[in-house]
Amino acid sequence: MITVLESINLSAQYLKQKGIESPRTNAELLLANILGCKRLDLYISFERPLSEDEVQKYREHIKRRSSFEPLQYIIGKVEFYGLELKVSPSVLIPRPETELLVENIFKQFPKEQKLIILDVGSGSGNIAIALGVNLPRSKVISTEISHEALQVAKENSERHNVSGRIKFVKQDIIKNDLNNFPIFDVVVSNPPYVSTENYATLQREIKEFEPRMAVTDNTDGYTFFKAIAEKVRNKLKEGGKLFYEIAEGQSEKVAEIMTKNYFNNIRIIKDYQNIDRIIFGEKK
């Protein structure tokens, strides 16, 4: 029978041949998921033989990954800001860069403050749930156009016991107004900000598997920044703050959009690669 170490070595070699980045890490994470253990636990189980059922499941997972299906969809989960979240092809996979978005909100407001927050674009619920868990006296309304994504987000909120303080709403921010919404202290969004031109250059994992409408606005990448800034300016209290995640090269244009919509004290935060990634400002 094949051992843990042998199966990892063979799988890593196969993934490398298929052009998968970080093949060894992928091979280990996929096997750890099948065995129900942490990746590091594999290192003390190298000589453990795999059962026929485990080998079969592992082969299926490796085959899917070799076709560039994202690892997170294969194992069905991802960690975001210390929270394990369910993910499916209905939702964008949360990225480490987006953790900076919620982190900068936490830096602006004390944990004890009671806030009413609008999150535009629920996806997996990662932003709304991270806010709900870490700002226990606050309430969040999170909007999303996709019914399937809303189901994933609701399930994740229940898993982390914050469903009572997060309201998920099916809403198209481009087509619909916010007349029936309350006045907010904070608005946050990681919108579809990839332009049509840049979308063509993205990794296969993104183009072939992640929901296109969560990645690109099918135009110049600024559609949602404009719509959100225009529609929330009358729904933010004076001094309320608007936070966006942005793509490389967008900070100047997005700052201009925010300024035109009566936001000032605009700040830009760089990510781990020293790229402008977060922008936020206050309503005048």
CB half-sphere exposure, 8, CA atoms < 13 A: 23
* Helix, strand, or coil (residue 227): helix
What pLDDT does 141 receive? Answer: 98
Q: Which domains does the chain have, with CATH numbers?
A: 4-67 (1.10.8), 88-283 (3.40.50.150)
Q: Cα–Cα distance between 154 and 168 in angstroms, integer?
A: 7
pTM: 0.94
The alpha helices in the chain, defined as continuous H runs, are 4-17, 23-35, 52-66, 71-75, 96-108, 126-134, 147-159, 196-199, 204-209, 223-232, 251-260
pLDDT value for 27:
98
The confidence score (pLDDT) of residue 133 equals 97
Which residues neighbour 209 within 8 Å (Cβ) at sequence distance 6 or greater? 68, 69, 70, 73, 89
Amino acid sitting at position 37:
C
Averages of pLDDT over each 10 residues, the chain, 284 residues: 95 98 97 95 94 97 98 98 97 97 96 96 98 97 98 98 96 94 98 97 97 97 98 95 98 98 97 97 94
Per-residue model confidence (pLDDT) at position 284: 87
Going by the DSSP 8-state scheme, the letter that residue 194 receives in this structure is: B
What is the SS3 string spanning 107-138?
HHCCCCCCCEEEEECCCCCHHHHHHHHHCCCC
Q: How many Cβ atoms from other residues are within 10 Å of residue 32's Cβ?
A: 19
Distance, CA of 211 to CA of 26 (rounded, Å): 22
